[in-house]
Amino acid sequence: MNKEKTIKVESNSNNPLVYQHEIDVLSGKFDHCPLVVKGLTKEYIKGERALDELTFAVEAGTCFGLLGPNGSGKTTLLSILYGLLLPTSGSAKICGKDLTKAGVFRKHIGVSMQFDVLWDTLTTSEHLYFYARAKGIQNTEEHVADLLNSVSLVSKRDSQAKDLSGGMRRRLSLAIAMIGSPSVVFLDEPTTGLDPVSKRDVWNAILKFQRDRAIIVTTHDMDEASAICSKLAVVNRGELIFIGEEFEFREQLESEFKYVLELQFIESSRDKAIDFITRLVGEDQLVKMKDDIEGIEGKISYGVGKDASINTIWNGMREQDLSDFGITEWQLGETSLETLFLQLINSQAIIIKDKKQEWYRRLIGLFIK
Ligand SMILES: Nc1ncnc2c1ncn2[C@@H]1O[C@H](COP(=O)(O)OP(=O)(O)OP(=O)(O)O)[C@@H](O)[C@H]1O
Ligand SMILES: [Mg+2]
In a domain, residue 73? The reply is yes
Same domain, 126 and 240: yes
Same domain, 127 and 231: yes
In tens, the pLDDT along 4-13 reads: 455 577 787 8
In a domain, residue 343? The reply is no
Return the pLDDT at 363: 40
CA distance 326 to 329: 9
Alpha carbon separation from 189 to 67, 199, 358 (Å, rounded):
10, 11, 35
Same domain, 62 and 205: yes
Residue among 185, 223, 233 at smallest CA distance from 206: 185
Return the pLDDT at 327: 96
In a domain, residue 363? The reply is no
CA distance 110 to 281: 51
CA distance 105 to 111: 13
Minimal-distance CA residue to ligand 1 atom 24: 70
Same domain, 261 and 153: no
The residue segments making up the domain with residue 320 are: 255-338
Q: Does residue 42 contact residue 208 with C-beta atoms inside 8 Å?
A: no
Which ligand has the nearest atom to the CA of 72?
1
In a domain, residue 356? The reply is no
Same domain, 282 and 246: no
In tens, the pLDDT along 194-226 reads: 888 888 888 988 998 888 899 999 998 888 999
Percent of the chain with pLDDT over 90: 51
Same domain, 59 and 195: yes
Same domain, 88 and 213: yes
In a domain, residue 350? The reply is no
Q: Are strands 214-218 and 62-67 parallel, antiparallel or unpaired?
A: parallel
Same domain, 106 and 205: yes
More confident residue, 317 or 343: 317
Instruction: Please state which of the ranges 224-228, 254-258, 332-336, 345-349 shows the lowest mean pLDDT.
Output: 345-349
Minimal-distance CA residue to ligand 1 atom 31: 71
Q: How far is the CA of 221 from the centre of ligand 2 (A)?
A: 13
Atom of ligand 1 nearest to the CA of 42: 12
Q: Does residue 325 contact residue 273 with C-beta atoms inside 8 Å?
A: yes
Same domain, 120 and 216: yes
Query: Is residue 2 pLDDT above 60, yes or no?
Result: no
In tens, the pLDDT along 145-175 reads: 999 998 889 999 999 999 999 889 989 999 9
How does DSSP assign 262-280, residue by residue?
Answer: EEEEEGGGHHHHHHHHHHH
Using pLDDT thresholds of 50, 70 and 90, give the confidence band for residue 102: low
Return the pLDDT at 364: 44
Q: Does residue 68 contact residue 74 with C-beta atoms inside 8 Å?
A: yes
Q: Is 201 exposed, middle or buried (0-12, 13-18, 19+ CB in 10 A)?
A: buried
pTM reported for the whole predicted model: 0.78
Q: How many independent structural domains does the chain possess?
A: 2
CA distance 213 to 69: 26
- When pLDDT is averaged across residues 290-298 and rounded to a whole number, the result is 86
Domain CATH number, residue 307: 3.30.70.1710
In tens, the pLDDT along 354-369 reads: 433 443 444 444 333 2
Same domain, 100 and 149: yes
Highest mean pLDDT among 49-58, 82-91, 253-262: 49-58
Which ligand has the nearest atom to the CA of 73?
1
In a domain, residue 353? The reply is no
Ligand 1 probe mutation, 67, 72, 188, 219, most atoms within 8 A of CB = 72
Same domain, 234 and 283: no
Q: How far is the CA of 79 from the centre of ligand 2 (A)?
A: 10
In a domain, residue 184? The reply is yes
- Helix 124-134 to helix 166-177 angle (10° resolution) is 20
Highest mean pLDDT among 190-194, 241-245, 333-337: 241-245
Using pLDDT thresholds of 50, 70 and 90, give the confidence band for residue 42: very high
CA distance 294 to 132: 54
Same domain, 211 and 283: no
Q: Which of 251, 285, 305 is the last residue of a domain?
A: 251
Query: Is residue 299 pLDDT above 60, yes or no?
Result: yes
Residue type, 167: G
CA distance 301 to 274: 11
In a domain, residue 355? The reply is no
Question: How do the residues of the chain divide into helix, strand and coil, expressed in percent and rounded to 5?
Answer: 40, 25, 30
Evaluated on CA atoms 280, 284, 290, 296, the torsion sign reads positive
Q: How far is the CA of 203 from the centre of ligand 1 (A)?
A: 26
Atom of ligand 1 nearest to the CA of 45: 4
When the pLDDT of each residue in the chain is averaged and rounded to a whole number, the result is 85
Domain CATH number, residue 159: 3.40.50.300
Which ligand has the nearest atom to the CA of 79?
1
Using pLDDT thresholds of 50, 70 and 90, give the confidence band for residue 353: very low
